[in-house]
Amino acid sequence: MKKVLVTGGAGYIGAHTVVELIAAGFEPIIFDDFSNTDERILTGLQSILGYVPTVIRGNCCDVHALHEAFEMHLPEAVIHFAAFKAVGESTEQPLKYYHNNLNSLLNVLQCMRNYQVRDIVFSSSCTVYGQPAVLPVDEKTPFLPAASPYGQTKQMCETILQDTAAASMDFRCTLLRYFNPIGAHPSGAIGELPYGTPNNLVPYITQTAAGIRASLTLFGDDYDTPDGTCIRDFIHVCDLARAHVAALQWLEKQTHVCEPFNLGQGVGNSVMELVHAFQEVNHVSLPYQIGPRRPGDIEQIWANVDKANTVLNWKCTHSTEDALRDAWRWQQHLKT
User: Strands, DSSP E only, in the chain?
Assistant: 3-7, 27-32, 54-57, 77-80, 119-125, 172-178, 180-182, 216-219, 231-232, 234-236, 257-263, 269-270, 288-291
Full residue range of the structural domain in which residue 254 is found: 3-186+235-264+303-316
Distance CA 336, CA 202 (A): 20
Concatenating the DSSP letter of every residue in 105-133 gives HHHHHHHHHHTT--EEEEEEEGGGG-S-S
What is the Cβ-side half-sphere exposure of residue 207, based on CA atoms within 13 angstroms?
A: 20
* Phi and psi torsions of 147, nearest 5°: -85, -5
Per-residue CA distances from 290 to 20, 110, 180, 282, 299 (Å): 38, 46, 21, 22, 16
**pLDDT 10s digits, 57-102:** 999 999 999 999 999 999 999 999 999 999 889 999 999 999 999 9
The residues of the chain scoring below 50 in pLDDT are none
Is 284 within a domain? no
Is 64 within a domain? yes
The pLDDT value given to residue 197 = 82
The pLDDT value given to residue 195 = 80
Is 240 within a domain? yes
Judge whether 150 counts as a catalytic residue: yes
Helix (H, G, I), strand (E, B) or coil at 79: strand
In the set 12, 97, 129, 150, the catalytic residue is 150
Is 269 within a domain? no
Distance CA 317, CA 171 (A): 31
Q: Supply angle C-alpha 26, 260, 130, rounded to 5.
A: 130
Is 283 within a domain? no
The pLDDT value given to residue 102 = 98
What is the Cβ-side half-sphere exposure of residue 298, based on CA atoms within 13 angstroms?
A: 23
Q: How many domains does the chain have?
A: 1
Q: What is the CATH number of the domain that holds 67?
A: 3.40.50.720
Is 210 within a domain? no
The pLDDT value given to residue 336 = 63
Give the strand pairing for 27-32 and 3-7: parallel
The pLDDT value given to residue 126 = 96
Is 321 within a domain? no
**pLDDT 10s digits, 227-238:** 999 999 999 999
Is 333 within a domain? no
